[in-house]
Structure 1
């Protein structure tokens, strides 16, 4: 039993168990009303964190004094004229929150979360709490809900599931957000059902709530942001130090940008933002983007491990050059924890596993899984690559570099190079049916290759052709690695073409090399 549960059991013994709070329906309005059962899955702030165990006591005391967590359903079908008049009170920038005619969805009656009478722990961290809502059948299907937290501390709201909604069965809301006490917000926290709409197809009663949510996430652009703020805003890099120029925001260089924190400006220079103390990790990040406390502690531990892994090889390289950081693949795998050690005695396991990283999922079952072309295609869809991958419209790929300066930079990949691996398709058929793609870094990197390769870092200008297979995966067809021509830029490029080879021969291992150059 966790610390939270122990405190709650003690409180129930001293104060008694609270009874369900039921909202009485007013029969005088002449409408047909039903009760909808729901289940809320949440995680308290103090789950698995003994430093915050006292918040469970304070939250329970708030419950005893009538300060509950309430939910209020919002109709996706019918508008509420009364809500229109109140809309400007629930938005950071009210003048921007009213779209069209401003018709907001009709609200159901508030219902109280049955916090103490029905809470069931479904895991070490998460609990399921029941709720009963009065809902007017004539209003229609709920498309969103408002939640207000009058407890002392925040909680992580994961999901809300409504059962037996007339005409719709189960309605599911995926929330995944921290809900702070209501006094921390100057607007209502609204969550929408797990049904996606294009903006033009969003039900009219939900549009004002959607627009208000967007404005609340954008913020006002002023003021220091606190941990309960949910603002995703941007600022220039003006916090790098007194002697560093401001990066971004100019006409010639509008980027890069960082997340805005709103810290006070320095007294020495009003264009610079004050910095946090060096050891501080309390820089503003939207709360829903922060690590949970378990992941955060893992992050600090693995950071310390990483520092140790850097210092030791660097020290060794200074004492004995040349130094090979990785002698073999076995040496690389030695950086990761061994599942076989999990059965050891605690001290022995700690000794064996200390300063090691968790095993990546890719190689958890098979150490050679990273070598497959399927895995290469999957990893290619990570990072910035999706912004560069394009559908091929011509073959062979051409260059937009100035031919008078860089010569002929047209790709040297031919049809013979790739059609063998295209499942019977020709290049023209693949282009026609939108199945041939290219990851092209050639023009981006070629002008800088000489300068980069004059240092200890070595790179190539690359083109990678990919086939979209019937199962939706990307298969590499050919990789072209290019360098400036040794006789000068006007002579074009010097290129090597690599094609797939899946066997264990020398050619098979050569095929891994250009893939590693890309990733």
Structure 2
């Protein structure tokens, strides 16, 4: 729109008036800003020669506020009238000055032009009082411009805004600041509490490479690691304050919610209150007498029936006298407490996990064991075997081919490999250097390699489990290795069950630390920081990516304070213990961004064939791989949408190369955000439209579908500890030992004693329950919080097409789940595969479905 608007003259005839509205959210008990907030608009076409910025209108205060409540949130709509000089030109940005005593959330603004024409500003940002910020806020309209297309009046504003977001890399960040910068993971340890809390700095070295995180500027401890003085995550904080000092004697005794992430990256108050309520509900299990008593003696479950009692009704009667809410009130901010109490219920029970809902014994079956490698919470580790022993193995394999050939449906092992029917779930070599370090009282670490055969019905039949564990202490670097073969009954079947538990423990730790944390949460944060620092909100790619970054930096900050820190929940539950993040760093050495694209990942693992004629360049090897088949559909939908979007704004390769913001963005990601991999040759050069499309498709895939596939099924499978235990407390007993005699006396009891104790199991279940829930304000793939997120009709039409495509994919997924020929879609446990089903708005609780736009939990 290059012409000037035909603006209405005011009553004096010398000026023109632009009217509009501003929509603001504010917290309970807080008044709206009203006349304490003033607005001015900038022209896009007329430049002020003194500032180089677009001409400014006169100031206009917010007036005639009308309030309403929506889902408990107070929303006030104010009217504005802005006086401008004749020939002012098109409004393209506005400045708002908050002289009120409170911050407020600016939802949107709309300027109304005669002739029913509108200019929308999708703001969705916190505006703090000017007395602390010393500056007004600038917001740009929903019209997107590549850098070289920016109207003259917005050029200086665009540059100035980006510079303010980068900061100068110094000082401790304050709540109201909007500064994005990078730092290494030097805040996980707390050595001032003793050597057991010392952790290496991750990132910035060859020994411990890692993606960068957002810089907070908190003071460092005496040893150089930044101490955790504040705790934002409520889950562990509440454990401590609910008289559960046994959880950790080293967590903070005063709780604060002020750890820094830029305000626009924070979870909303409503989401935070839901998260707190979910955490209270989960951690209230620890007030039950049987759990509290078990925390002191590492007691085991006595029977499988005792585990099932965790899901029974009316367990909350035992804690009514504990005055839970009185204790919660001490740690939850006052403005959230009322909302939290409405959501908490005294009916303390864990939901019945789907894995045992239809068939409580299905988890014991080998078919279900293999199915979960294809359709469970960690379907990205299994791969088709190219050669045996697997390439790059550190030790000679003890698996004898002659022992497993009888289970190959008449094929020789060599022919089965040629037909791409031998698979491996490998958790062996990367663990070997850590085993002796991980061994401790109550932790019996093992490294496993599991071979499987793809049967004619596309189910996976386990062939053998190779297990290595620390050898005798007179051989410090040595390991012992055994091979366990599947059996259907008797003592050998019970031993096989123990071996499977060690495999599940390995897979659970790899899933949490690598597939989930590293490959989604951690690797995405540098992309978020670079986007905020280098891409203006006017940049179309910023608009495209913005919903896929929602809440991620805040969630990661929570993780650093309670999940992945020294003494945190993952160290207390996983067998990897204090070496968890060190192991994560070691496996980051293998990470490649180009291999995070689903087609590349499937081809690398030989789960798909390289096929140039396919729209995605790959053809899945067999149709009954639920993660792969559903994933390809979702990937193709994202790829098409991203391609359509980029084609609207970029004419050719030259327009990508000349985009100064995109080039700076990509350079910063490679050289700073993932700076420990700056010299890798697999990074693309970002010189073509295809480079850009593929990069954006991969990034959106990681933040949405990949994260959903490895997160929201956690309680479904790990909510029942025998199916996916977090650690083993016993090794597999060797014949002739006292342990073997104990095992023979009661194999089930030996198995239960091998699992995590009651406290560890309950803590892990509570975490899975919290992480597997969607919040009510979640926005899913193919959705946006508002239809006015961009001022481009062609984009909105393409986005509608994308949404419609996802709805068709949902129908296909439901049809597949109903096909009895596709046995891996439901399996013996009758758990339908819906982890890549895009929408979850019509269901509540732990749904095991839905693809949120972002890594938001």
Q: The TM-score by the shorter chain falls in which range?
A: 0.5 to 0.7
Of stretches 69-78 and 131-140 in structure 1, the one that deviates more from structure 2 is 131-140
Aligned to 1:478: none
Larger Rg: 1
Native 8 Å contact 2:314 2:347 kept in 1: no
**Secondary structure of the residue that 2:160 maps to in structure 1?**
helix
Deviation at 1:249, TM superposition (A): 3.5
Matched, 1:502 2:818: yes
Aligned to 2:120: 172
Structure 1 unpaired stretches of 5+: 1-22, 85-103, 336-348, 369-379, 390-395, 418-440, 476-498
**Secondary structure of the residue that 1:459 maps to in structure 2?**
helix
C-alpha distance in 2, partners of 1:352/1:300?
A: 9
Deviation at 1:158, TM superposition (A): 0.8
C-alpha distance in 2, partners of 1:144/1:509?
A: 53
Matched, 1:197 2:145: yes
**Secondary structure of the residue that 1:228 maps to in structure 2?**
coil
Deviation at 1:127, TM superposition (A): 0.7
**Of the candidates 177, 189, 212, which is equivalent to residue 257 of structure 1?**
212
C-alpha distance in 2, partners of 1:410/1:231?
A: 59
Give the TM-score, by structure 2 length. 0.36
Deviation at 1:263, TM superposition (A): 2.1
1:97-156 superposed Cα distances (whole Å, 9 cap, x missing partner): xxxxxxx22222222222xxx111132511111110113452322111111111222221
Deviation at 1:157, TM superposition (A): 1.0
Aligned to 2:105: 156
Q: By percentage of residues, which structure has more helix?
A: 2
Higher relative contact order (CA 8 A, sep 6+): 2
1:52-77 superposed Cα distances (whole Å, 9 cap, x missing partner): x5x67xx68xx5xxxx3111111222
1:483-507 superposed Cα distances (whole Å, 9 cap, x missing partner): xxxxxxxxxxxxxxxx955246993
CA change 1:78–1:326 in 2 (3 A) is farther
CA change 1:468–1:200 in 2 (3 A) is farther
Aligned to 1:491: none
Matched, 1:247 2:201: yes
C-alpha distance in 2, partners of 1:159/1:306?
A: 36
Deviation at 1:309, TM superposition (A): 3.6
C-alpha distance in 2, partners of 1:34/1:358?
A: 63
1:445-466 superposed Cα distances (whole Å, 9 cap, x missing partner): 7854895545451539974533
Native 8 Å contact 1:146 1:190 kept in 2: yes
Native 8 Å contact 1:174 1:194 kept in 2: yes
1:218-251 superposed Cα distances (whole Å, 9 cap, x missing partner): 2221111111111222322323212424423423
C-alpha distance in 2, partners of 1:444/1:79?
A: 63
1:380-404 superposed Cα distances (whole Å, 9 cap, x missing partner): 9xx999xx99xxxxxx999799975
Of stretches 126-135 and 197-206 in structure 1, the one that deviates more from structure 2 is 197-206
**Secondary structure of the residue that 1:320 maps to in structure 2?**
coil
Aligned to 2:299: 318
1:322-380 superposed Cα distances (whole Å, 9 cap, x missing partner): 4468759x959999xxxxxxxxxxxxx98994356999xxx9xxx99xxxxxxxxxxx9
Matched, 1:119 2:119: no
Aligned to 1:457: 505
C-alpha distance in 2, partners of 1:176/1:401?
A: 55
Native 8 Å contact 2:67 2:77 kept in 1: yes
| C-alpha RMSD of matched pairs (Å) | 5.3
Deviation at 1:444, TM superposition (A): 9.2
Native 8 Å contact 1:401 1:443 kept in 2: no
**Secondary structure of the residue that 2:299 maps to in structure 1?**
helix
C-alpha distance in 2, partners of 1:452/1:350?
A: 46
Q: How does 1:309-458 map to 2 (within 5 A)?
A: 309=285, 318=299, 320-323=301-304, 327=308, 353-355=345-347, 405=392, 448=430, 452-453=447-448, 454=467, 455=502, 457-458=505-506
Matched, 1:132 2:100: no
Matched, 1:225 2:173: yes
C-alpha distance in 1, partners of 2:76/2:270?
A: 18
